[in-house]
Every structure is written in structure tokens, then in C-alpha cells.
Structure 1
Amino acid sequence: MVAIPGPAHGPHSEDDCTKRRQILEGARAVFLELGFDGASMGEIAKAAGVSKGTLYVYFADKNSLFGAIVEQESRELGILAFDFDLDGEVGIALPKFGQAYIRLLCNPRGGSAIRTVMAIAERMPEIGRGYYQRVIATTVGRLGAYLKTQVEAGVLTIDDCDFAASQFMMCCQASLFLPFIFQATPAPSPEQIAKVVDSATRMFLAAYLAAPGADYSSS
């Protein structure tokens, strides 16, 4: 995933960045239409409006170009994941987090990125690892850090906050994510998401509330 700057431009020049974005946009369209195996550097150059020579100045091969696209997508999705609002009482914060998380996973852009990474991860494991670290691990860490504050406040009793964060995230996915990612169902409605996340929240609090029977629900 190495971008090679052209001889006429510094690696951070405005022209260089503009040309690189132009190539990535063209390549993204070709990969979406033809898939990784069907895409050729010639088709990508044509879609990007550049010569093949210019294309190879910026990217050594199709693998490095594809990797740059996935890196860009995962970085942007990682930023969205980090922006989840996690504050206040657990009965309010957890459903808000869960619903935002599932909306991120189950939208056309997010789903397309995940399917692409899943399809190529065995052949290009560095892409799978990068996506996991930027998106999934970032989200687990964000939720885990919040849960730790609630443990310290005496609200929750959790030995491993990152593990508990993963548990909650998987519960929020139940019946929603896999049917969507495998295109068996369309993206879930807000009502479907709210129902599943509410159930996940109740299960989580039943397991981890420091004072069983306390009311920390969002209702």
C-alpha cells in the first residue's frame, strides 16, 4: 500500500494529492463494477482519466491501489466509530451507542467496505488486519473505556471491559448484521435496530449491573 510520488511533485503537494484522489475515485468505481479480479490497471486508468504511466507513478500495482482504497474507507469508517457519543448513565449511553454502531455496520457504504475486506482478507491479510484495527478494535476500545468509567463509579461489575464491550456489540448485531452483510435482507429499519439493541442492553445490564434490580433503563 505504498503511494509513489511523481518526480515533478513533492509527496505532499496539492497537485499530487489531487491526482491521487482522482485515481482512487476512478479505481473505486472500477472495483465496484468489476470486482478485484475483473479490474485491470488499463480500465482503472481510463476511469480515472489518466495514462497507465501516470497510474504506475502513484501505485506500483493493482494490489497496492486496492489496499489504498480499503485503507481510506476503513480510516473514514474508523473516524465515524470514534465519534459515537458515550456519556452519561449506562441505560442511556448503551442504547445510543448500540444503535449508532448498527447503523454504521448496516448501511450501504459500511456494508460494501466490510464485504470487500472479507472477500480479499485471505489473499491480502494485511488489509484485513488494518481494517480490524482501525474500525473494530477502535470501537471495542472506545466502548471498553466507557465501561471502565462505569466500573470505577460502582455502577457496573466487570472484570474485562474490552471483552464485555465485544459481548455487547455482538448482541446488538443479533439477527441484523449477518442477514444484511450476506444480502439476505435489506438494511434494518430504525425500529428493528431499536428493538434488538434494547434487548441487548437489558441482557448486558442483567449480567453486569453492580446492584441487581436497580433501574438504569432508558425508559
Structure 2
Amino acid sequence: MSRSIAPSKPASPGRPKDPAKRVAVLEAAKRMFIQHGFDGVSMDQIAAEAGVSKLTVYSHFGDKDSLFTEAVRAHCEQGMPTQLFEPTPDTPLRQRLTVIANAFLAMVLSPEAIAGHRVLCSPQVAGSQLPTMIWEAGPARVNAAFSALLERRIAAGELAIDDPQRAAGHFFTLLKGDLHARAVMGSCCGGASTCGDSIDQHIASVIDLFLRAYAIP
């Protein structure tokens, strides 16, 4: 039976919030969600782990759903920061794709990301609004940034793509391949470096396929 989750509460207004405490709460939340799952952690426990009051946790994040979402957002922004997608027209396309692909696989195959994926697939969470919140905080941001990069390369005459957003989905799905599924199932637990063939070879083959589909000769 899926759990029912009330709409996320906005963080409460009040005196200026301490950025250091916000970071401490996020780091504590990431550790505890990975160790105990979403339903196995309370806001009281996160506050104690972070060394702050429960009121501080609620004032920064509103509720546990929002805290989990922000933890995911922080992980994605650390693994694939905005500058990764900034315009660099002088950089060869294959080189840009290779850098992005390496960052993406390092992020999604990290122990933190695999643990978070398992949490989202749990029956308690799957039927809630949390997966949608996570999608908007993480994958949707990455897809949008990569789509914008593709649009710039289309305008430069390097790519022929009718639907850049769909093509972005193709790229990241191809990169995951069976590596991500195996990591989630626990059949390869050492991160990207130990999953199947060489990551470099895997990335090169994905980029070859992507460019055969969309590159202008």
C-alpha cells in the first residue's frame, strides 16, 4: 500500500538562516537516508546527527520530502554543475560529450545515487509525490541543460536534431545502459571503474552511436 504524503510545506520565514547549518543538515540527511532509507529516518534524528535543533531543520527545509529532494538536488549539482554545460563553441563536440558523459556516469553510479534510487523504488515512496519532486530537482535539470547545449550545436551546424529534449534522453539512457541496472541490483558494487567493460570504451561507443544518429557529416 502506498503511503499518503501531504503537500510539501514551504520553509518557514523568520530570522536569517545560517548557511553552515543548512549544509550540516543536508550532509546529515544524505548519510542517514543512505543508511536507513526514507521511512527509517525522522527529522529528530537528522537534527541530532547535524547537531542542530529540529526547529532549525524545519525552518530550512519545511518537511522531510523537501529535505530529501534538496539532498538529491545538491548531489546532482555537485556531480553535474551548471558550468559543465556552459557554451564553449571552440571545444570539439566529441570532447564536450565525453566530459559530460564521464561526469554523468560518476554521479549515477556513486553509492549515494544508487542508494537514493533504491529508496525511490521502495513501495512506501513509489506511490507518493516524492519521485516527481526528485525528477524535477535532478534529472529534469540535467536534461534541460544538455538540451540547451544540443540546441547551440544545432545552430552551429554540427547536429541535425528535431527534438533536442528527446535526444538528451537518448544520450543519458544509452550511457546508463546495463551498468546502472547492475549497480542497483548489487551485481557490481565498486562504482563505475569495476562495472563491466572499460568505462572509457563504453562512453566512446555511446558517443559514436549518438553522433551517427545526429551529427551532420
TM-score range normalised by the length of the shorter chain = 0.7 to 0.9
Residue type of the alignment partner of 2:212: A
TM-score, normalised relative to structure 2? 0.74
| Match 1:210 to one of 200, 209, 216 | 216
| Match 1:102 to one of 105, 110, 114 | 105
Matching residue of 2:5? none
Contact 2:109 2:183 in 1 (8 A): yes
When residues 19 and 99 of structure 1 are mapped into structure 2, their CA distance, relative to the original with a 3 A threshold, is: closer
The alignment yields a C-alpha RMSD, in angstroms, of: 3.1
Query: 69-78 or 153-162, which moves further after superposition?
Result: 69-78
Query: 177-186 or 107-116, which moves further after superposition?
Result: 107-116
Whose RCO is larger (CA < 8 A, sep 6+)? 2
Residue type of the alignment partner of 1:205: L
Residue type of the alignment partner of 1:114: H
| Match 1:124 to one of 125, 128, 131 | 128
The structure with the larger Rg is 1
Q: Secondary structure at the match of 1:124?
A: coil
| Match 1:199 to one of 198, 205, 212 | 205
Q: Secondary structure at the match of 1:174?
A: helix
| Match 1:145 to one of 141, 144, 148 | 148
| Match 1:92 to one of 80, 90, 95 | 95
Matching residue of 2:69? 70
Compute the displacement of 1:68 (Å): 0.9
Q: Note the residue ranges of structure 2 that are not aligned, 5 or more in a row.
A: 1-7
Contact 1:30 1:39 in 2 (8 A): yes
Contact 2:158 2:215 in 1 (8 A): yes
Q: Note the residue ranges of structure 1 that are not aligned, 5 or more in a row.
A: 212-219
Q: Give 1:130-209 correspondences, 5 Å limit.
A: 130-186=133-189, 187-189=191-193, 192-209=198-215
| Match 1:34 to one of 33, 36, 42 | 36
When residues 46 and 183 of structure 1 are mapped into structure 2, their CA distance, relative to the original with a 3 A threshold, is: same
Compute the displacement of 1:181 (Å): 2.3
Pairs aligned (count): 199
Residue type of the alignment partner of 2:205: S
Compute the displacement of 1:201 (Å): 0.8
Compute the displacement of 1:138 (Å): 1.5
Residue type of the alignment partner of 2:63: S
Show structure 1 runs of 4+ deviating over 6 A.
Answer: none
- Cα distance in 1 for partners of 2:68, 2:161 equals 38
Report whether the alignment pairs 1:80 with 2:79: yes
Compute the displacement of 1:107 (Å): 1.2
- Cα distance in 2 for partners of 1:92, 1:23 equals 37
TM-score, normalised relative to structure 1? 0.73
- Cα distance in 2 for partners of 1:19, 1:198 equals 42
Percent identity between the aligned chains?
22
Matching residue of 1:216? none
Contact 1:105 1:111 in 2 (8 A): yes
